[in-house]
Every structure is written in C-alpha cells, then in structure tokens.
C-alpha cells in the first residue's frame, strides 16, 4: 500500500492501548494490583516513556463492566475512548480517528513489562518510510508481552473497511498480516530469539510472575535487558508461568471462523 503521502515531522503518533475488564481466564486483570497500583496504570506509564509517541490513550468498550477503566483514566488523566464491545477493530479505528492519529501504535493492557525502547524502535522503523506496517512479525523474536505494532492511519482505515471475518473484527491486525500483497510489511528482529519468555498476563500465574519482577525491580525505568538480567540471577522466576500457550484468545476466534491458527498472527 503506497499512498504517495510523504512523512513529515509533525505527524501525530498515538499509542492506543486495548483494554477491557472481561477475561475468561483472569477477570478484571487490567485492574489487578501490581506494586500498589492497577496493572493498566503501569502499562500507560511505561509506554509514556517512549520518546516518539505524542499521545498515549486507552480504548475500552461501552459496556458497564468497563466503567472502572474509565474511572482510572479520569483519575490519572489518561485519554480514553469507549467503543464497540465485540468489534474491537471498529473500536480501535474509531479511537484512532477520535485522537486524530497519523501513525498508530497498537499495544495491549495486559503487558505491564512493555519496553519503551522497543516501542521507539518500531515507530522509527515505520517513519523511515519504506513500510506501511511494522511489528515483531508473525514469528516474533521478542518475549510474549513486548509486542508492539506501528502503522499508518490509511492502513487501519482500509483494514476496518475490508475485514469481514469475525476473527479479523475481534482483533486489530490479523487482516494486515494476512495480506502482504496489500500492505508493505516490515519486521524487526532481536539478535537472539527470546520468544520463549512469557511476560504477558493471561493467567493467575502470569500475574504472579509480573508481581515478582516488580518486587525485585520496582516501578523504575527498567527495560527488557533489566528483566533478562533479573532472570539470570533468579532463574526460578521463569518457572512461575511456564507451559501456557501463546495467543489462545486469537486461536478461539479462528476456530469460530473454521480456520487454523497461525502463531503470532495478531
């Protein structure tokens, strides 16, 4: 996808964090306490440390169960948008329009170990101008929980307009990944494959792991390297949440569509 649009310095880069209270495996996880604060609070603060982002916002649903998210955003002065509960792609697109985004960074609220440097790397790679969509790729080399994707508003708009499968509407980026003939995709890789590390929160054991990391490192500007160094010193921490399948939620969406899962297709 090449619109011929030139990149310019004043393009607005907006990080949109998807977040809902509903979770079959860990209900209310986005408000779960970590180091004395809700998980979403930590997620937002870590993303705000990225230097190339102009605005960090939360996109949640209009369902009453998500009122606590809105209340937290109001209390912490976090921009918040409410949209469709089931059509996440529409919610995300409407949020991007509402915040007048030129470039969007997609992030999720269940990843309280986001690394601002990796987010900046993804954005910078997109701003080089030779891609429409930049992410860790279909088979990421980064720990589960450090996922970030940056893309042009035109890409999101076309995806919103053309995607029809339920699995494409319940998530934001699968349609883009599956159509490299439509979009110029670019992948960033780590020099070492770290994809076996699990730093996201889907299960109670994941929350236990993240709480342990914060207990050791505190809510200071630590990044991926600091967590890796911690795990070298305390390898027992890795055992807390081993054996949990990655992207289980997306697999359920694919099964509903009668399709097979492609790992990392988010």
Residues 215, 208: Cα–Cα separation, whole Å:
10
Count of CB atoms situated within 10 Å of the CB of 35: 16
CA distances 226 to 216, 231, 249, Å, are 10, 9, 29
DSSP state of 95: H
Mean pLDDT over each residue of the chain, to the nearest integer: 90
Angle between helical axes of 153-162 and 88-98 (0-180°, round to 10): 140
pLDDT in tens, 144-198: 999 999 999 999 999 999 999 999 999 999 999 999 999 999 999 999 999 999 9
CA distances 135 to 21, 105, 122, 124, 214, Å, are 26, 10, 6, 11, 26
Q: What band does 227 get if pLDDT is binned at 50, 70 and 90? A: very high
Global pTM reads 0.89
Walk me through the domains of the chain, giving residue ranges and CATH numbers: 13-256 (3.90.550.10)
Torsion of CA 231, 235, 241, 247, to 10 degrees: 50
pLDDT in tens, 76-129: 999 999 999 999 999 999 999 999 999 999 999 999 999 999 999 999 999 998
Q: What band does 243 get if pLDDT is binned at 50, 70 and 90? A: confident
**Residue whose entry in the numeric block shows the structure tokens 């940056």:** 150
Instruction: Provide the pLDDT for residue 37.
Output: 96
- The answer on pLDDT for 248 being more than 80 is no
Candidates 150, 170, 173; CA nearest to 253 is 170
| Contact indicator for 146, 190 with CB cutoff of 8 Å | no
User: What sign does the CA torsion over 18, 22, 23, 29 have?
Assistant: positive
- Please name the residues in contact with 207: beta carbons below 8 A apart, sequence gap of 6 or more: 26, 29, 32, 34, 39, 201
């Amino acid at each position: 996808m090449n619109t011929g649009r030139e990149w310019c310095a004043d393009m607005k880069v907006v990080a949109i964090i998807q977040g809902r209270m509903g979770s079959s495996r860990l209900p209310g996880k986005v408000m779960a306490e970590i180091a004395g604060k809700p998980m979403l609070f930590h997620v937002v603060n870590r993303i705000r440390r990225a230097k190339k982002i102009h605005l960090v916002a939360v996109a949640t649903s209009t369902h009453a169960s998500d009122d606590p998210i809105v209340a937290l955003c109001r209390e912490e002065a976090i921009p918040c948008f409410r949209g469709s509960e089931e059509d996440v792609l529409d919610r995300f697109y409407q949020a991007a329009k509402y915040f007048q985004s030129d470039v969007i960074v997609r992030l999720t609220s269940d990843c309280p170990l986001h690394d601002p440097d990796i987010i900046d790397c993804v954005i910078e790679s997109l701003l080089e101008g030779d891609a429409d969509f930049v992410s860790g790729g279909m088979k990421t080399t980064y720990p589960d929980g450090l996922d970030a994707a940056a893309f042009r508003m035109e890409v999101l708009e076309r995806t919103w307009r053309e995607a029809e499968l339920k699995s494409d509407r319940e998530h934001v980026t699968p349609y883009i990944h599956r159509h490299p003939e439509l979009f110029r995709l670019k992948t960033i890789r780590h020099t070492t494959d770290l994809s076996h590390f699990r730093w996201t929160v889907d299960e109670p054991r994941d929350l236990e792991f993240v709480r342990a990391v914060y207990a050791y490192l505190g809510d200071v500007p630590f990044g991926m390297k600091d967590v890796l160094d911690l795990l070298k010193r305390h390898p027992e921490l890795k055992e807390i949440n081993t054996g949990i399948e990655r992207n289980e939620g997306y697999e359920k969406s694919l099964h509903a569509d009668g399709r097979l899962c492609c790992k990392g297709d988010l």
